[in-house]
Amino acid sequence: MHAFQPPPERSHAARPRILICDPSAKARQHLHAALGGDAEHVMVESGEEALRVAATGFPPDLMLVAVELPGLDGYELCRRARATERLDQVPIILLIPPRATDDARAQALESGADDSLCRPVRPRELRARTAALLRMRFMATALEARTRELETANRFLTQARVALVQSEKQATIGTLVSGVAQQVNNPLTFIHSGVASLRDYLGSVVSLTGQLMATPDGDREALSRKLSEAILESKEVLAEIGEGAQRLEQISKDLWLIAADTTPEVEEVDVEEEIERAWKVVQLRTRRRPELVMTADRFQHVRTSGNLLHQVLMNVLLNAVQALDSQGGGGTIWVSSQELDGEVVVTVRDSGPGIPERLINRIFDPFFTTRPGGQGAGLGLSVSESIMRNLGGSIEASSTEGRGATFTLRLPAARAAEGYVLEEPLG
């Protein structure tokens, strides 16, 4: 029996490896000579030895297998190779006896062979068929490697996208800090001054009540009037304190929504409500608040992630506010929402300076910004485009320089989105 010796490690430009399995030494040499010297050959004489060699020391790129083998015949060898992880994709040519019938060829293919040749084998045909199968083998191997690279790249991009979303959220919070501080100070001032006034009013109520109790009935009218005024003023102060507390609570809720986890949880979302919630946060960004003109069809709902849609709306509205700030603040932002052809379409248009034509195709690029250095990372619109794509929608921009910019968001309406599954989560 031929003793197998494992070949040395393959070089970077290694030749194809062909395993020849035939019980006849003369036939093995004939096949070896017919194939030529363009490939590495290892020759074995039994099916059992072929499986052992292929699995342990000589992973082949192609196998030439005789049907007639001692013990494990060629058909069974093919079936076992296809059930073996390291050999299930290796091309196999079965060498069938002379004058083989169509049934023999069919049986070869059914057992898992990729091709078959009748003996005696013609060298030119053998080389042509092995070359064709090897090309397919190497193309499949290259495709598998490329697929693995793309899967790795996709995982990296997904992780980078998550990081960008989180980074943009933190950057957005940073740009809102001054406005938030101002808005928090106002209700805090109400509360602090209200508490001091309430303390004075309560002191007056206690004092007037004591005086009233010690005053004869006929002289109580003036004191009663003062007491009623003190109680009424106390109620007004309490209402102001309550309003301030509510404003603080709302600011806290809006900021918490920004910082919330971005894991897409599909829910039915009221588009108009999300626009209003986003605007409540964004308007804190500027001292000269723009006028918001909103027109929306009622009962517009989408099945999507409310948190992520809020993030996109906030980014787009903030972009409009910043555009208006660049020309002194104020101005107008028009927001419309309507259902068209199974989609909810939201447009955000501003009266700002617009986007130069040469830049319109770059505004969704990561890190691209027209703002002065240090004022924005240039991630908001890029992150928004990524989120909208993940949500099964889209975002587009159009502009005429000097006449403002328009952003158009599209998402499947709630009815059209039934059964829609989000892509890989962002968080």
The CATH number of whichever domain residue 89 belongs to comes to 3.40.50.2300
> Rounded to the nearest 5°, which phi and psi values hold at 395?
-140, 135
Q: Are residues 117 and 266 in the same domain?
A: no
For residue 168, what pLDDT is reported? 64
| Strand 405-412 with 62-66, pairing | unpaired
Q: Count other Cβ atoms within 10 Å, centred on residue 249.
A: 11
For residue 420, what pLDDT is reported? 43
For residue 225, what pLDDT is reported? 75
For residue 375, what pLDDT is reported? 52
For residue 169, what pLDDT is reported? 62
Tell me the Cα Rg of the chain.
Answer: 39
Q: Count other Cβ atoms within 10 Å, centred on residue 296.
A: 18
For residue 63, what pLDDT is reported? 93
Q: Indicate the number of domains in the chain.
A: 2
For residue 313, what pLDDT is reported? 92
**Helix 25-35 × helix 123-214 angle, to 10°:** 80
Helix (H) or strand (E) holding 210: helix 123-214
Domain span at residue 62 reads 17-121
Q: What is the mean pLDDT of each run of 10 residues along the chain (427 residues)?
A: 40 75 93 89 92 86 93 92 89 88 86 91 91 89 88 86 69 56 64 73 72 67 73 76 70 54 71 88 73 80 85 89 80 90 91 85 73 56 83 89 90 64 40
Q: Which of 121, 152, 179 is the last residue of a domain?
A: 121
Q: Which of 73, 97, 121 is the last residue of a domain?
A: 121
Q: What are the contacts of 360-367 at 24+ separation with CB within 8 A?
A: 360/397, 360/398, 360/399, 363/397, 364/395, 364/397, 366/164
Label residue 80 exposed, middle or buried (CB < 10 Å: 0-12, 13-18, 19+).
middle
What are the structure tokens assigned to 53, written together? Answer: 């060699």
CB-based contact 353:401 (threshold 8 Å): yes
For residue 415, what pLDDT is reported? 64
For residue 305, what pLDDT is reported? 83
CA neighbor of 385 nearest in space, from 283, 311, 277? 311
Domain assignment present for 174? no
For residue 140, what pLDDT is reported? 85
Domain assignment present for 363? yes
Domain assignment present for 110? yes
Task: Determine the Cα–Cα distance for residues 63 and 85; give it in Å rounded to an integer.
Answer: 15
CA neighbor of 387 nearest in space, from 297, 337, 313? 313
Q: Which CATH number covers residue 416?
A: 3.30.565.10
What are the structure tokens assigned to 281, written together? Answer: 């946060």
Task: Determine the Cα–Cα distance for residues 106 and 330; give it in Å rounded to an integer.
Answer: 80
Q: Which of 69, 86, 121 is the last residue of a domain?
A: 121
